[in-house]
Amino acid sequence: MRGKREQLTATASTAAAGKPRPLTRVIILSLASGLLYYGHYKWMIQDELKAYGQRVWSGAVCVIPFVLGIAVPLLLAEFDLDFPGWFGFLAFLGVGWIYVVQFHLYQEINRLYRDEGLTPPLVRWWLNACLSSLKTAK
């Protein structure tokens, strides 16, 4: 068993780091496709990090709950007469899920940088801004 574990670790550490994608290209393609490209991009980067041997969630675990969390409540509120109109607000669960996913991703990327002795590059300002706006709304 120990030999197999060492082999898996060696394979993960020598895996290709992933395909670089310029930020401007991601933004342009995301806007042009109505954010469909961003969903594809998010799925791919999560799967690349997972294949690289990192402690991240797969693309499916990240994107599918987000899409279903937004789409299902909105569709049921719009087209099913048995659900009250406020049911569409449950779509915020999908939005909340993507914040959890991003938080987890930022932690993992920053950990990788710290492990290499580098300064972590990612700051969670967006999460802090959301939390502070919730506090001031009370």
pLDDT in tens, the chain (138 residues): 444 334 334 334 444 556 777 889 988 998 999 888 988 888 888 888 888 777 788 888 888 888 888 888 877 777 776 777 676 677 888 888 888 888 888 888 888 889 999 998 888 776 666 666 666 655
pTM of the shown model: 0.64
DSSP-derived secondary structure for 33-99: TTTHHHHHHHHHHHHHHHHTT-S---HHHHHHHHHHHHHHHHHHHHH-TTS-GGGGGGGHHHHHHHH
